[in-house]
C-alpha cells in the first residue's frame, strides 16, 4: 500500500513539474467566445457578491479556456491577477496602484510565454493598470475612454488593429455601465442582460481576430 502511495505521489509531482515548466506555445486566437463570455460573467458576479475563492477558481478556468494554460499553471496565473487586483483595491492613489504592476507584468508574462506571438508585456501590464485606474476615477474619465483602453489591451494581445476591437470594448463598457446603474438591486434578469452583452462582446472579438 505504501509503495502504491509513493508511486501515485511521484506521478503527481511529475505531472505538476511538467505542467508548470515544460515549454508550451499555442495560438491565442482559438477560443470559444460563448464559453469565455460565460466565465467572464460568472467572475463579475462572484466579484460583486464578494466570493473570492469562487472568483479565483473561475479565473483559473478562464485562463485555461481563453489562453489554453495547463491546469496547474492556470492557478499560478490566476494568483498573479488576484494579487494585483487586491493590491489595487486597497490603494488610495497612483503610488499605491503601482504596487500592482509587477503582478500584472507576471500575469501578462505568463500569457506571453504561452503564445506563438509573444506580447509586449510591459505595455500590456501598464494598459491593464491604467484601465483599472480610469474605471475607479470614472468622474474624470468618460465611458469612451474605458472602451478604447479595453480595445487596446486585446488588440495588443492578438496583434490586430485597435479599430477591429472597438465593438468589443463598447459592449463590455455598456455591460459595466448597466451593472453600475443597477448596483445592489441586480436581479437574475439583470445578470442575463449582462451575459447577453458579454456574449456579443466576445463574439465580436473572435470575429475580429479571425477575419482576414
Per-chain mean pLDDT for the chain: 89
Q: Is residue 62 in a domain? A: yes
pLDDT digits (tens, 9 = 90+) for 153-202: 999 999 999 999 999 999 999 999 999 999 999 999 999 999 999 999 99
Using 50, 70 and 90 to split pLDDT, how confident is the model at 4?
low
Q: pLDDT above 70 covers what percent of the chain?
A: 89
Which pLDDT score, from 0 to 100, does residue 25 have? 81
Q: Is residue 90 in a domain? A: yes
How many domains are there within the chain?
1
pLDDT digits (tens, 9 = 90+) for 32-79: 999 999 999 998 999 888 888 898 999 999 999 999 999 999 999 999
Spatial separation of the C-alpha atoms in residues 81 and 60, rounded to whole Å: 10
Among 121, 116, 117, which Cα is nearest to 104's? 121
Q: Is residue 13 in a domain? A: no
Among 22, 27, 202, which Cα is nearest to 118's? 27
Report whether 100 contacts 88 (CB < 8 A): yes
Q: Is residue 135 in a domain? A: yes
Which pLDDT score, from 0 to 100, does residue 202 have? 97
Amino acid at each position: 500500500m505504501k509503495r502504491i502511495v509513493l508511486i501515485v505521489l511521484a506521478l503527481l509531482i511529475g505531472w505538476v513539474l511538467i505542467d508548470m515548466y515544460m515549454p508550451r506555445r499555442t495560438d491565442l486566437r482559438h477560443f470559444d467566445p460563448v464559453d469565455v463570455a460565460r466565465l467572464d460573467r460568472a467572475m463579475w458576479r462572484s466579484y460583486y457578491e464578494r466570493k473570492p475563492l469562487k472568483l479565483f477558481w473561475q479565473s483559473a478556468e478562464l485562463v485555461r479556456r481563453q489562453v489554453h494554460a495547463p491546469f496547474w499553471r492556470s492557478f499560478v496565473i490566476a494568483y498573479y491577477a488576484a494579487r494585483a487586483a487586491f493590491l489595487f483595491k486597497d490603494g488610495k492613489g497612483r503610488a499605491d496602484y503601482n504596487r500592482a504592476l509587477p503582478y500584472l507584468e507576471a500575469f501578462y508574462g505568463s500569457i506571453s510565454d504561452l503564445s506563438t506571438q509573444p506580447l509586449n508585456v510591459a505595455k500590456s501590464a501598464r494598459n491593464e493598470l491604467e484601465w483599472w485606474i480610469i474605471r475607479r476615477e470614472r468622474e474624470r474619465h468618460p465611458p469612451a475612454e474605458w472602451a478604447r483602453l479595453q480595445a487596446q489591451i486585446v488588440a495588443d494581445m492578438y496583434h490586430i488593429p485597435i479599430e477591429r476591437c472597438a465593438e468589443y470594448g463598447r459592449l463590455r463598457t455598456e455591460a459595466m455601465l448597466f451593472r453600475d446603474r443597477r448596483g445592489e438591486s441586480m436581479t437574475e434578469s439583470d445578470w442575463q442582460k449582462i451575459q447577453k452583452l458579454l456574449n456579443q462582446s466576445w463574439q465580436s472579438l473572435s470575429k475580429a481576430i479571425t477575419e482576414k
